[in-house]
Amino acid sequence: MRETTKLIIKNKIFSKKNIEDVGNIFLNEFKNSCTRKHSAKIVFTINCSDNTIYESDSLSIFDNGGIIDIKK
């Protein structure tokens, strides 16, 4: 059985630094909660105003010069 938990934040504007900080918090919590008994994954998603969606399993999605700097 698969269980998915999503945190959706709408109608807010965050600085790139704020997004990276929150991403690091989630990634650290994810790493601390993983066990060998359970398979788990973390996905960071960027939903753009043109309805394009980007996903990554790492914080590289927030790298300088990346999609977060190009899209809105």
Collapse the DSSP code of 62 into the 3-class scheme (helix H, G, I; strand E, B; otherwise coil) and give the result.
helix
Residue 62 resides in a domain: yes
- Residue 45 belongs to some domain of the structure: yes
What residues contact 34, with CB distance under 8 A and at least 6 apart? 40
- Model's pTM, two decimal places? 0.68
Q: Which helix (H) or strand (E) holds 51?
A: none
The predicted-structure confidence for 33-69, as pLDDT tens digits, reads as follows 776 666 778 888 888 888 889 999 988 888 888 888 8
- Does any domain span residue 2? no
- Residue 37 confidence (pLDDT): 64
Contact 20/59 with Cβ under 8 angstroms?
yes
pLDDT tens, 23-33? 899 888 888 87
Residue 34 included in any domain: yes
Which domain covers residue 46, as residue numbers?
A: 16-70
Is residue 63 a part of any domain in this protein? yes
Domain membership of residue 59 (yes or no) is: yes
Number of domains in the chain: 1
Asked if residue 10 is part of any domain, the answer here is no
Q: Is residue 27 part of a domain?
A: yes
Task: Give the pLDDT band of residue 8 (cuts 50, 70, 90).
Answer: confident
